[in-house]
């Protein structure tokens, strides 16, 4: 592995434009379970019955009780781990421009990354399903479930549910960043959900080098990953950043 990290560090330190694509795996070491694989949320509950927009419209109380409330408890406690901090370090080194994240936990911004595209929206805000008014999740009174807007409408997270479109602005910016980078670091995603899973292919089709960080192989690993650093984000990122810093030091 050390030589793979050195190889990745060499390419990253020489790159002109580096973009990261992250998934639930980067937040596992912050105490947020992934959706698929070991301990995955969708191994216990069927996502189509609780995380689809039709389920939310049909039975908002059940979706709030089963999915949203439990997610909020976990997200309130979560703090950035060494994986998030490593990406913030790469931005500070002037190496990493943009993080495209599928996560709604806000941990990249908390770690210090300044250009984060929230591909699946965010849990930090709620939106009224009647009047579309936005309110910060931390300001929402959760004693009544589902919580209501001042207008009487029901609130929902500003996150993208299955069956919903990716916000146009986030999709367009992600496609542009993916097409223009010369390295994409893909961390902690099973790359199963479209259109997020297409971003590494957009990068690859524009001659980017794909560096994957994941303890398990994914559908990207054998198809387009140029370097596959097998391990957890929290263990690999600090070593990768250290190796990049060493290469950037004046000789």
Using CB under 6 A as the criterion, which residues of the chain lie in contact with ligand APR when the complex forms? 23-26, 28-29, 34-37, 40, 47, 102, 120, 187-190, 192-193, 213-216, 218, 232-234
SS (H, E, C) 224-236: CCCEEECCCHHHH
Q: Which residue, 82 or 149, has its beta carbon nearer to ligand APR?
A: 82
Q: Which residue, 149 or 212, has its beta carbon nearer to ligand APR?
A: 212
Compute the least distance from the CB of residue 200 to ligand APR, in Å.
12
DSSP assignment letter at 161: P
DSSP assignment letter at 150: T
Compute the least distance from the CB of residue 141 to ligand APR, in Å.
26
- Tokens encoding 69: 């409330």
Q: Which residue, 61 or 216, has its beta carbon nearer to ligand APR?
A: 216
Indicate which residue of 52, 84, 108, 120 is catalytic: 120
Q: Where are the alpha helices (DSSP H) in the chain?
A: 2-14, 47-50, 53-58, 60-63, 69-77, 82-92, 107-111, 168-180, 199-205, 233-248
Q: Which residue, 147 or 188, has its beta carbon nearer to ligand APR?
A: 188
DSSP assignment letter at 66: I
Provide the 10 A C-beta neighbour count for residue 240.
Answer: 24
Told to judge if 108 belongs to the known catalytic residues of this protein, a careful annotator would answer no
Compute the least distance from the CB of residue 212 to ligand APR, in Å.
9
Q: Strand 134-136 to strand 121-128: parallel, antiparallel, or no bridges (unpaired)?
A: antiparallel
Compute the least distance from the CB of residue 228 to ligand APR, in Å.
12
Residue number with the smallest Cβ distance to ligand APR: 25
Give the Cα separation of 191 and 221 in Å (integer). Answer: 10
Give the Cα separation of 168 and 176 in Å (integer). Answer: 12
Q: Which residue, 28 or 209, has its beta carbon nearer to ligand APR?
A: 28
DSSP assignment letter at 46: -
Identify which of 190, 196, 185, 191 has the alpha carbon closest to the alpha carbon of residue 229: 185
Compute the least distance from the CB of residue 125 to ligand APR, in Å.
16
Enumerate the active-site residues: 120
């Amino acid at each position: 592995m050390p030589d793979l990290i050195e190889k990745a560090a060499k390419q990253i330190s020489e790159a002109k434009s580096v973009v990261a694509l992250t998934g639930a795996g980067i937040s596992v070491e912050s105490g947020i379970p992934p959706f698929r694989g070991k301990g995955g949320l969708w191994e216990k509950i069927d996502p189509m019955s609780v995380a689809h927009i039709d389920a939310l419209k049909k039975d908002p109380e059940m979706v709030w009780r089963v999915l949203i409330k439990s997610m909020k408890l976990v997200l309130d406690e979560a703090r950035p781990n060494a994986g998030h901090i490593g990406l913030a370090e790469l931005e500070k080194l002037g190496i990493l421009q943009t993080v495209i994240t599928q996560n709604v936990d806000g941990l990249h911004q908390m770690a210090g990354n300044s250009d984060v595209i929230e591909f699946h929206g965010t849990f930090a805000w709620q939106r009224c399903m009647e009047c579309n008014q936005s309110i910060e999740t931390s300001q929402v009174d959760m004693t009544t479930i589902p919580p209501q807007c001042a207008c009487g409408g029901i609130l929902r997270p500003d996150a993208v549910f299955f069956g919903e479109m990716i916000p146009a602005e986030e999709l367009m910016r992600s496609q542009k960043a993916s097409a223009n980078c010369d390295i994409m670091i893909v961390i902690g995603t099973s790359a199963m959900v479209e259109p997020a899973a297409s971003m590494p292919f957009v990068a690859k089709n524009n001659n980017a080098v794909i560096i994957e960080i994941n303890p398990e192989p994914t559908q990207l690993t054998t198809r387009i990953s140029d370097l596959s650093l097998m391990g957890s984000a929290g263990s690999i990122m600090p070593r990768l950043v250290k190796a990049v810093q060493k290469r950037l030091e004046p000789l």
